[in-house]
Amino acid sequence: MHHAVRVFLTSVGLIAACASPVQIDPSDSLKDADPGALSRIAFGSCANQRKSQPIWNAVLSAEPNLFIFMGDNVYGDVSSAEVTELKDAYAELQTVTEFQTLRGRIPILSIWDDHDYGINDGGSDFPYKYATKDLFLEFWDIPPDDPRRQREGLYYATTFGPLGQRVQVILLDTRFFRSPLKPSDAPGSPGKEHYVPDYDPAKTMLGEEQWTWLEQELSEPADIRLIVSSVQVIAQGHAIDWVTESVSLELRDIEGEVVRQVVISLSEIGLPPLTGSKWKRIGKAVEELLAKERPEGEKVH
């Protein structure tokens, strides 16, 4: 996907979570916070290393505790097993002074999208994905004992903060395991520019192993969860490519009692308008979750 640099700032306490969120005032001094707690996170993606990147100065001035790089962290589509283009892209990013300053001051969590995976709109059939994964691990200094070095793909989760301020960050790999996209039957037409929806139940976005891992991670204790997808989730009107996978996950409380059932749908261009019975159920599930967290009498806007 082709985008300009995008960076978002958020106060963690304002993010809706599966459990009741901890309210953290973003104006509080970060120096007074628990050293393991997060009170401000910066998000970014789609940073073309060949273009000027003054945005890093703005990120630094916001003094986040953590930066999450959500994919297309460089643009290095490759043409051979030597993956020269991606090597060069990382080398060029290494020369961006503002980014190196950020990297020296703020912890960074990163996941890839198609252009640092190595091919536009790429999926599981990309022949050089192991080579580009090795480059990712090397550039981002992933430790030798990290699980990403022991398994396929780059999905990862980690937790910050003490009890009561525990923030879990889950990074999904939406490239390594994703089934091939379905080419458009009317290229160039509105909504069918490149690909069309594919409801083949045999196709997948995350792959069975990653789905199982995700279900396990969602059972871990956390006050706030951030689930990071490098592709759009339940978006509309973005006709680039599309693979939809729906899996019903039972989210249980600490006593093991089922308290929520949700359908998680990941897609490259999003889901159709919420008109079918399936999407009505999604909307109803979301409303029920919001109602559990919303004070009595408060309206949804």
pLDDT single digits (tens) 107-121 = 999 999 999 999 999
Residue 220 has pLDDT above 70, yes or no: yes
Interacting residues of 20 by C-beta distance below 8 A, sequence separation 6+: 223, 293
CATH classification for the domain delimited by 6-270, as one of 3.40.50, 3.30.70, 2.40.50, 3.60.21: 3.60.21
What is the value of pTM for the model shown? 0.73
Tell me the domain boundaries of the chain.
6-270
Q: What is the pLDDT of residues 57-110, one digit of tens each?
A: 999 999 999 999 999 999 999 999 999 999 999 999 999 999 999 999 999 999
Mean local confidence (pLDDT), 205-234:
87
pLDDT averaged over every residue in the chain = 74
Query: Smallest Cα–Cα separation from 249: which of 196, 290, 206, 292?
Result: 206
From first CA to last CA, the distance across the chain in angstroms is: 31
Whether the pLDDT of residue 283 is over 90: the answer is: no
**Residue in the block written with tokens 């490239």:** 175
Q: In a 3-state reduction of DSSP, which class is residue 102?
A: helix
Confidence grade of residue 202 (pLDDT, cut at 50, 70, 90): confident
Q: Which residues contact 47 (CB under 8 A, 6 or more apart)?
A: 5, 53, 55, 69, 72, 73, 74, 93, 99
- The DSSP line for 202-229 is T--SS-HHHHHHHHHHTTS--SEEEEE-
User: Residue 288's pLDDT is what?
Assistant: 57
